[in-house]
Amino acid sequence: MNKVIRIGTRESQLAVWQATLVQQLLAKNNIKSELVFIKTEGDIDLQTPLYEIGVQGIFTRSLDTALINSKIDIAVHSMKDVPTQLATGIAQAAVLQRASYKDIFVYKEDLSFISEQLGLVNGEWSMVNNTPPDSYRVTTHYSPLTIATSSVRRMAQWLNRYPTHSIENLRGNVNTRLRKVAESNWNGAIFAAAGLDRINLRPQNAIELDWMLPAPAQGAIMVVCRAEDDFSLEACNQLNDDDTAICTKIERDFLRALLGGCTTPISALAEIKDNKIYFKGNILSPDGKQKLAIEKIIEKDEFNNAGKIWGEEILNMGGDKIVQQIRDAK
């Protein structure tokens, strides 16, 4: 069969890199494909903070529409941008092997200054890694920094650790955001490591935020297609990485159980080691003052409902009150 799969993608350098990766993987299986470029709402409005737009699906809706209307056959997404409930008629076709899940801090001053302000030792977080945030607040007297991010999750975790700092909105694709940081008077900005690494843009003046828990499915790429498109489903399923699919399912189930979206400071990370799943998850208030966290270890074959169960556990611990406060503030 000489069918050519039409791959829908956003036009940013990172999105095109991800779609091209899928194209190359399909080609290895002798499946022909072509890229189709589509603008999304998130690419058009680059000024409004994401938490003000109501961002559930903002980077995926236009591609979903093109998919449902058969203008494309598959769509490639950064998985963390995909709503936990896929649109009717659309199915998950593959989850590619995960890259780095970490966030990184791109700073502007020299490392010694940043280290002093953030409490690092030799560029490492070891000094405060095991120190509870509350005692860290009491015992430190560093100057407030101005940090840029459009992510309410990153903002909440940063303010939980550094409550005297200021947060500025940072929108645009990776290239645009790096340029804005360079041209601003901010002290630095937070990025996803995978995004910068994939297009070889990670600057030398960057520190991995080992203490910051990532967005559910951060670092993973999802491929979706029409549910009835057996050809595309079969073709893409050959690209699926089982361990990444399991871990991201747990993280997204956790997010869904907490009724969260991109405007809710919810983080989750599942990792598979020695046939066991190690999980960390949390929810914070947007100002970082409230935080509930959970850690679990289970056997790999017990993954199916784990994320949902742990999300409900967080809700019962008081997470429901944080969620309600966020809703009332909108």
Residue positions annotated with a catalytic role: 81
Block residue for tokens 């350098």: 13
Q: Is 115 helix (H, G, I), strand (E, B) or coil?
A: helix
d(CA 255, CA 177): 26
| Residue 118 dihedral angles phi and psi, to the nearest 5° | -100, -5
Q: Is 39 helix (H, G, I), strand (E, B) or coil?
A: coil
Structural tokens at position 84: 């936990």
Block residue for tokens 């280290």: 115
List 95's β-bridge partners, or say none.
Answer: 222
Q: DSSP per residue over 147-199, as a string? A: EE-S-HHHHHHHHHH-TT-EEE---S-HHHHHHHHHHSS-SEEEEEHHHHHHT
Q: DSSP per residue over 252-297, as a string? A: HHHHHHTT--TTS-EEEEEEEETTEEEEEEEEE-TTSS-EEEEEEE
